[in-house]
Structure 1
């Protein structure tokens, strides 16, 4: 039957152990963690501000609270313990993890994303990566208070949302792309309908009219997969005022650009890129996977996208912030390139770039 405190109390009595409320609850909580929860990782998942919990095989577990990785006192003592924990977590997300299927990416019942890879693929041992969903998104004002946006940056970003411009938030891993996009969507007029398409539900914008569509991996028989680009096409039939692709990382970029080019204003998404200047080449490479040639990809991009907002993370402080806003223009050869409009220095100083006049015109 189901695990509950009454059953724990009965079992303790049967074993001749003293039964007080505190003892029963402590044993129940330990059993719950070990049977259905994240076991020894659960206290770490509950820490305030934790975004990631990482297991690199046996040894100390590491966490990220927004300022880089830190070692914790939680230790997994053996490879067997790592493997069993990974298998239980993945099973709670409805998938299998074993030698025949040695890696998996699932969402746990509480919304945490879990990625696991078994050894010997992972070295020095089974690797577990947990991405913790924020309990309610940041507002743009909160990002300003946290120094992710300067005063001028806050004003510009609010105007970008109000003007219904099409934009991508670019940045490297862990720079806060999703956080900024979610905050911007939270500033959208409550009367507008937002349809969010994602590989894994992470955006969770605080807005009264959000519909989320989530891609699905194939099952063990190789059937049942639902691709991101299929969902983008479905989203277009759902009367979105704004269409959002959480992370643009495959051929879905073609469908997103097509949507932006057919009257769907305010389209947006995030894109992994190391600089704003890298965005056109990244989009071109992704479009190529959908069979779209270079010239066609740049034509679509030029007419689809208004801005790139590039976020960065300080190596020294770990602070994530908006570093640059760039506009797009075509060169003499017809290829799209980004032109810096505004740059924000680490000390908050604003520097206008050659694209600043174009940005003012868009806003």
Structure 2
């Protein structure tokens, strides 16, 4: 008969009380010795409280407590599993992971919410942050670059919640994305030229759609002799160029001081003589400064934002500029957007788990009171599914207009022949 969760909780609490902190600090980086130490304490505790525990249950309990002390608890194996991209903990009994774009429930679990909360606090403490009832929400970056979000009771009603967006070990390039079916080769070649000839690019999409992956791939084609400044809430961009300066926002400390916002970083970056500015994600009032940078000589700048279509992306930009408190008329905001942004790339996570670039649109200017967008490429899904359950669809090449900014820049950078080949222009 398997030992109950209640008894597991009693044994865990007794073991943790019996182990000296000094011993834990000495053994925390040696898993085998830590397992032996906890196993000996488990023998004494189990004997003293007279609970029958099978060898299998004892081994699992010892491993669970060792992993808890190590800092990740039941999540250790999932964090080490390179096939897992997201780890989502909804209380002690529900741990989901995402693999290949699909969510699945794992057989992992915590003994109780006390253990889960203790693991969450250890993870947060490792990155120099704190979480308690006074501050029950934390958004941080782990040492390997993975994004960590923790919510504890009383905010989390069903137990502590942990969300981890893992930092991928390999950096995907355009060839990888073409092979995955995320874009066509024509789209890849077009985006390479767009990145090289310094057009301003916005990558739009939902959470987990692949915006940062695409931004990383685009950055490969920035010239080595350019000074690039990256601005992020959690540093995920990995640029290969030598002249890169990375800046990261900072939340307020315990006394509610020391906060550095994205707007602060954008304003300061303009004083640092950048050739290009890459903002990991535009979320609010910093958007105005970002557009100003794009409009004042920092061509080739890039950013991402959350939106469902290129048209929605323009509306989001309008809304975020309004958040800056500049009190600008809407027509002035739209003219700023139309002159600053050249290309909007829409990325989407499909319901078969795949990620696709569903649209590449060029901002053509203003007509009346609307920002005019022109589709260059789109993805069109078809009825039915492939044998492997994947969505059927085709990437369509709509061509490039004569007055395209991309074409004008391509001529300046001597890339117009390559660009014309993509669209069959003689």
TM-score (norm 1): 0.89
Distance 1:49 1:224 in 2: 37
Q: After TM superposition, give the deviation of residue 295 of structure 1 in Å.
A: 2.4
Three-state SS of the structure 2 residue aligned to 1:64 is: strand
Q: Give the paired residue count.
A: 355
Q: Is the 8 A contact 1:137 1:205 kept in 2?
A: no
Distance 1:161 1:196 in 2: 15
Distance 2:109 2:119 in 1: 13
Distance 1:174 1:13 in 2: 39
Match of 1:314 in 2: 350
Match of 1:344 in 2: 379
Distance 1:264 1:10 in 2: 56
Q: Is the 8 A contact 1:94 1:106 kept in 2?
A: no
Task: Give ranges in structure 2 of 5+ residues lacking alignment.
Answer: 1-21, 43-59, 382-391, 411-426
Cα deviation digits, residues 125-181 of structure 1 (max 9, x gap): 211101111124211222222222211111111111111110100011111011001
Match of 1:186 in 2: 220
Q: After TM superposition, give the deviation of residue 338 of structure 1 in Å.
A: 2.5
Q: Output the aligned Cα RMSD.
A: 2.8
Distance 1:111 1:295 in 2: 40
Q: After TM superposition, give the deviation of residue 264 of structure 1 in Å.
A: 0.7
Task: Give ranges in structure 1 of 5+ residues lacking alignment.
Answer: 18-25
Distance 1:172 1:296 in 2: 27
Match of 1:20 in 2: none
C-alpha change, 1:28 and 1:243, in structure 2 (3 Å) is farther
C-alpha change, 1:80 and 1:74, in structure 2 (3 Å) is same
| Stretch deviating more after TM superposition (252-261 or 57-66) | 57-66
Match of 1:77 in 2: 111
Q: After TM superposition, give the deviation of residue 309 of structure 1 in Å.
A: 0.6
Match of 1:204 in 2: 238
| Stretch deviating more after TM superposition (247-256 or 79-88) | 79-88
Aligned partner (choices 310, 327, 351) of residue 276 of structure 1: 310
Three-state SS of the structure 2 residue aligned to 1:55 is: strand
Match of 1:105 in 2: 139
Match of 2:291 in 1: 257
C-alpha change, 1:284 and 1:89, in structure 2 (3 Å) is same
| Stretch deviating more after TM superposition (330-339 or 233-242) | 330-339
Greater percentage in helix: 2
Three-state SS of the structure 1 residue aligned to 2:26 is: coil
1:98-137 mapped onto 2 (5 Å cutoff): 98-137=132-171
Match of 2:358 in 1: 323
1:280-299 mapped onto 2 (5 Å cutoff): 280-292=314-326, 293=328, 294-299=330-335
C-alpha change, 1:227 and 1:132, in structure 2 (3 Å) is same
Cα deviation digits, residues 76-123 of structure 1 (max 9, x gap): 232222222221211112111111111111122232221111123123
| Stretch deviating more after TM superposition (109-118 or 213-222) | 109-118
Aligned partner (choices 42, 45, 49) of residue 83 of structure 2: 49
C-alpha change, 1:173 and 1:7, in structure 2 (3 Å) is closer
TM-score (norm 2): 0.76
Distance 2:345 2:284 in 1: 20
1:94-243 mapped onto 2 (5 Å cutoff): 94-243=128-277
| Stretch deviating more after TM superposition (144-153 or 212-221) | 144-153
Distance 1:338 1:170 in 2: 14
Q: After TM superposition, give the deviation of residue 229 of structure 1 in Å.
A: 1.1
Distance 1:351 1:271 in 2: 24
C-alpha change, 1:189 and 1:259, in structure 2 (3 Å) is same
C-alpha change, 1:12 and 1:50, in structure 2 (3 Å) is closer
Distance 1:361 1:278 in 2: 25
C-alpha change, 1:12 and 1:173, in structure 2 (3 Å) is closer
Q: Is the 8 A contact 1:36 1:92 kept in 2?
A: no
Match of 2:407 in 1: 361
Higher-Rg structure is 2
Q: Is the 8 A contact 1:309 1:322 kept in 2?
A: yes
Q: Is the 8 A contact 1:33 1:39 kept in 2?
A: yes
Distance 1:134 1:61 in 2: 20
Distance 2:151 2:39 in 1: 40
